[in-house]
Structure 1
Amino acid sequence: MEKLKNFINGKAVDSTSGETSSLINPSTGAAYATAPKSNAADVDAAFSAASDAFVGWRDSTPSQRQRALLKIADAIEDRQSEIIEIESRNTGKPISLTTSEEVPPMVDQIRFFAGAARNLEGKSAGEYMPGMTSMIRREPIGVIGQVTPWNYPMMMAVWKWAPAIAAGNTVVLKPSDTTPASTVWMANVMSEFLPAGVFNVVCGERETGRSVVEHKRPDMVSITGSVGAGIQVAQSAATQLKRVHLELGGKAPVVVFADADLPAAAEAIAIAGYFNAGQDCTAATRVIVQESVYDDFVALLTEQAKVIAIGAPDEDVFLGPVNNANQLARVAGFLERVPSHATV
């Protein structure tokens, strides 16, 4: 069985506790790997490495940071077959869609932030008061603690670390406990192009994430998660005056009016609802339809649902399994709570 490790200060290391959790392949329901259950000592070590690395990385030039990110993007692109296989096995995502819809934009996003590193904007220096010159100087924030979700593990990791590192910050990232594999892989690839300690990964469960967020060292914490988790992070950060970046859950509605192209709307909404097994912050989870076309639209959307290709990741399918047992129970709960007037 594969054994994942944390990545701290440029090295793959076990948790100091020696404890691990099993990673489940959603397509088979079988455990295929173990990941560390990181504790406070592991989180301390990661933040210590990031803090030490920040001293040098903050003084790197935009061109140096840009070159590093461009090399990382090239390396991931060159080895994309590896990360696609890892991501699919860890999430159950269809290989074809991961190849076409996730890797290209993810690599492009790294390159975007590489370019952004050299194009910071701000007001010009000037004399706004007699005898005084005012200017704005942009500096890295410092050490950033980050927590990513399980629905887009590799892409959400990129959305966290790429802008932070491009701006001269260092990072400690805690991936979801069910999907850490692609993030650990990225850390190993990135280590060839970054100084030790600039990017660190600690695996673990909810307590590990709490330790990352509540640790005294990070100057900023960033999470993608539920509204409840965001509230807790904001409350914790307030006591230490940390900066926060919160990307929280939503309930995306779609409105269909009577003059819409109903077949086109049904097709688009089905794609929006079922892409990534509906595990998306912008998934079409509610459809509000004008009453005069309600029955017609329900019929069209039903037909679209019937033709969605479902199957294993290595098949030509659109819809694979949900990510984990908790998510499966949540989806099943919607059906169990269907009101009596509804038809399933």
Structure 2
Amino acid sequence: MSEPGKLRNYINGAYTDAADGRTTEVIDPATGEVYATAPLSAAADVDKAMAAAAVAFESWRDTTPSVRQLALLRIADAVEARARELVDVECRDTGKPRGLTAAEEIPPMVDHIRFFAGAARLLEGKSAGEYLQGTTSFVRREPVGVCAQVAPWNYPMMTAVWKFAPAIAAGNSVVLKPSDTTPASTLLLAEIVGEVLRGLGLPTGVLNVICGDRETGSLMVEHPTPAMAAITGSVRAGIQVARSAAKDVKRVHLELGGKAPVVVFEDADIAAAVEGITAAGLFNAGQDCTAATRVLVQHELHDEFLAALTKAVAATRTGHPDDPDVQYGPLNNANQLAQVAGFVQRLPAHATIETGGHQVGDKGYFYSPTVVSGLKQDDEIIQNEVFGPVITVQRFTDEEQAVAFANDAQYALASSVWTRDHARAMRMSRRLDFGCVWINTHIPLVAEMPHGGFKKSGYGKDLSAYGFEDYTRIKHVMTATAG
């Protein structure tokens, strides 16, 4: 096991240090203080993890769907049983409130693992048939091979599940790298998976976790062993992964940034909209690619809505993860704090800070819940992802302008519409150019429905049968039957 204050890579069912002994510091964002070190993995460590995954794949791909289902169900049970431990390490790495993390992340994680356990036995394809006289054809769905996966720091353990669960359910093996600022919960998940696999007599190299920085991630993607690279991260990181993967034509799965428009029409239930948008805009300190932070309000409702939203946001509390009354914790790291503060500091003269707009306290990376109004469509804070507890509010005149403003962004991951008019909601769901459109709600996700975007938000889906199928390849088999 990892020692207190010293995290280690998890390769082939065992903890191990980086080959050259190099480490990075892991900082508690609630205090700004170093609490542990983690390996800074280099080429030798990547080689070791890829070799373990490749060996495991040789037998794992030949397991039956029922065996993979059983393994995943046991993993889900083990995650549930060790929930308190997972929450402890997650909150230490991220600063998230403990109560919210236990209630809002553990149950979906367990549910998602169980969903993919079931999906392992429900691969669909075209039925066998005679499409050419004297022959019979059928389609095989097969695992793609070893998968190199990179996860972000905003939802470390949740995203780790989204990455490894569909991949191993489909018969692949995985080398996963968590963010260098949040490695602890992913390592614990790997330990849980390894213990379950070992107990079932299955290969422990099915899931390997190595720690490191961007260079480590690049080495994973460029390595000749993986057949597929999957990343959740920034647009810049996604472009780098796609460019590196193109060198040997690896498959690529990208879930990148977002700038979700939240379109509030004049007939919306204002109380419900304010409550839902406040929660969805500030959850996890706004560090969510689907966060409800770009609000567009019809002119007739704008002033009343802005006043109500400002009041609700101002009443939202940020603080230490042990405080049961806070709605969100600190930003994840010093660089992210500087980024969020920079957006607010660079606001144009025509913008108004209705509430917030400043760092909270002199310890840790806390930022106040913030509302900014008076913005124009081409303002930096409207066009670029802030990834913090900052909600912007703009006016629009009619449905045409709402659609134009909403779609005028480089990102296309998620959006929402708030209206009592069903026909309008249906029109907007068709016209909004985003991978998800919520109606009179914002941010809920379920295992059965896909999560993924268009444009610079990437391609490929997490969750759902579509996300599962992304980790398979299709093979046509034809046999002669004449004679």
TM-score between the two structures when normalised by the length of structure 2: 0.70
The residue that corresponds to 2:22 in the other structure is 19
Q: Decide which moves more: 323-332 or 284-293.
A: 284-293
In structure 2, distance between residues paired with 1:132 and 1:299:
70
Q: Is 2:78 the counterpart of 1:70? A: no
Residue type of the alignment partner of 2:222: E
Q: Decide which moves more: 236-245 or 77-86.
A: 236-245
The residue that corresponds to 1:333 in the other structure is 342
The residue that corresponds to 1:283 in the other structure is 291
Note the alpha carbon deviations across 1:146-179, whole angstroms, 9 max, x for none.
0000000000000000000011100000100000
Residue type of the alignment partner of 1:134: S
Aligned partner of residue 240 in structure 1, secondary structure: coil
Give the one of 199, 203, 206 matched to 2:207. Answer: 199
Note the alpha carbon deviations across 1:13-38, whole angstroms, 9 max, x for none.
00011011111111111111110000
Note the alpha carbon deviations across 1:93-115, whole angstroms, 9 max, x for none.
00011011100000010000001
Q: Is 2:314 the counterpart of 1:311? A: no
Give the one of 245, 256, 259 matched to 1:248. Answer: 256
Aligned partner of residue 188 in structure 1, secondary structure: helix
Aligned partner of residue 197 in structure 1, secondary structure: helix
Bigger fraction of residues in helix:
1
Q: Is 2:264 the counterpart of 1:261? A: no
In structure 2, distance between residues paired with 1:284 and 1:64:
40
Residue type of the alignment partner of 1:58: R
Residue type of the alignment partner of 2:257: G
The residue that corresponds to 2:356 in the other structure is none
Q: Is 2:86 the counterpart of 1:83? A: yes
How many angstroms does 1:263 deviate by?
Answer: 2.1
Structure 2 unaligned spans of 5+: 198-202, 354-483
Residue type of the alignment partner of 1:222: A
**Number of residue pairs the alignment of both structures matches:** 344
How many angstroms does 1:261 deviate by?
Answer: 1.4
Give the one of 5, 9, 14 matched to 1:6. Answer: 9
How many angstroms does 1:196 deviate by?
Answer: 2.2
The residue that corresponds to 1:227 in the other structure is 235
Aligned partner of residue 295 in structure 2, secondary structure: strand
How many angstroms does 1:241 deviate by?
Answer: 1.2
Q: Is 2:176 the counterpart of 1:173? A: yes
Residue type of the alignment partner of 1:145: A
How many angstroms does 1:337 deviate by?
Answer: 0.9
Aligned partner of residue 203 in structure 1, secondary structure: coil
The residue that corresponds to 2:424 in the other structure is none
In structure 1, distance between residues paired with 2:174 and 2:148:
6
Q: Is 2:60 the counterpart of 1:57? A: yes
Q: Decide which moves more: 5-14 or 289-298.
A: 289-298
How many angstroms does 1:238 deviate by?
Answer: 1.6
Note the alpha carbon deviations across 1:262-281, whole angstroms, 9 max, x for none.
22211111111100000001
